[in-house]
Amino acid sequence: MDSVLVHAPATVSNVVCGFDCLGFALAEPFDEITVRRIAEREIRIIHHDEYKLPTDPAKNVAGVALRSMLDAIHADFGLEVEITKNIKPGSGIGSSSASSCGAVVAADRLLNTNFTKLQLADFAMNGEMLASGARHADNVAPCMFGGFTLVRSSEPLDIVELAYPELFTAVIHPQIEIKTSEARAILPADVPLAAAIKQWSNLGSLVAALAKGDLPLLARSLEDGIVEPVRKRLIPRFDELKEASMAAGALGGGISGSGPSVFMLAESEGTARRIAEAMTGVYADSGIDFNVHVSPIVGEGVEVVE
């Protein structure tokens, strides 16, 4: 095999009451990533997009993830990576995770190293370290495993694949910049125990609702009294987006990752499309550029295409 092409999906992390642990994978958008072996002991990065992401492998999430993988196998060769990003950097739907997960999955297939998904997720988390300053797996996990995932622990890494019913999502990406560091900085250091109990009761209930396919329970569980009240101020018209989406039949939803994207869950593709229209209506006269995605939640993470 000379090269391997993979598709690495966008992902939504946090998922309302599942802050810092829950996430799910979308069918689209996805990044296209090709990896090939080169004789030189270096990592070369080629971007086929307009985003001007760094090509210095030490400053690129895919480069950092691949470096940790090559070091682990004591490689005496290098890799060339071509990335076509369809997931806009900074959108809050796992753009950096898609790059790092896609790169390591492609390299693993190319080199026949047969790492487990958990090991590959661990390499990819080094990319997250570069992107956000922490070895988070909340987007890496759903990107690698697909479907709904729960990160029980980052160190040591423990990822739980959750059972879930057929679900669709509508995501709006307002093209404003929210720095992950800023979104982190405004979080409270401490929370009232009562609020924490409410949050974990909802999260436990959400996991049960997904396993049972109980959509009314899922809807009742999609409540966040800790992070959303603080972060929604960073997203123009957040309350209006939510209100219009609920009126259009959304089960619930909230901020994707640390924003600015906002996602809503729906039980059918038709409803997800109506939600996307409702979101579009809210943003139409906002003066803010935006785009909207509708996608099923899919069981496959990074997919090896050829």
Residues annotated as part of the active site = 128, 180
> Measured in Å, how far apart are the chain's first and last C-alpha atoms?
9
**Contact (CB, 8 A) for 150 and 207:** yes
User: By CB under 8 A, is residue 153 in contact with its own copies?
Assistant: yes
User: By CB under 8 A, is residue 199 in contact with its own copies?
Assistant: yes
Nearest residue to 9 via CA among 250, 249, 297: 297
CA dihedral sign, ordered 55, 258, 17, 221: negative
Q: Write down the least CB distance from residue 233 to its own copies, Å.
A: 18
Distance separating alpha carbons of residues 226 and 236, to the nearest angstrom? 19
Distance separating alpha carbons of residues 258 and 92, to the nearest angstrom? 6
User: By CB under 8 A, is residue 19 in contact with its own copies?
Assistant: yes
Integer-rounded Cα Rg, in Å, for the chain is: 19
Q: Which is nearer to its own copies, 192 or 229 (CB)?
A: 192
Sole binder of its own copies in the list 3, 175, 181, 201 (CB under 8 A): 201
Q: Which stretch binds its own copies (CB under 8 A): 3-11, 76-84, 86-94, 190-198?
A: 190-198
Site string for its own copies, 202-241 (x = CB under 8 A): xxxxxxxx-xx----x--xx----x---------------
Distance separating alpha carbons of residues 229 and 252, to the nearest angstrom? 15
User: By CB under 8 A, is residue 158 in contact with its own copies?
Assistant: yes
Sole binder of its own copies in the list 73, 191, 247, 288 (CB under 8 A): 191
Distance separating alpha carbons of residues 88 and 53, to the nearest angstrom? 11
Report the interface residues with its own copies, using CB under 8 A.
17-22, 150-153, 158, 160, 162-163, 187-193, 196-209, 211-212, 217, 220-221, 226
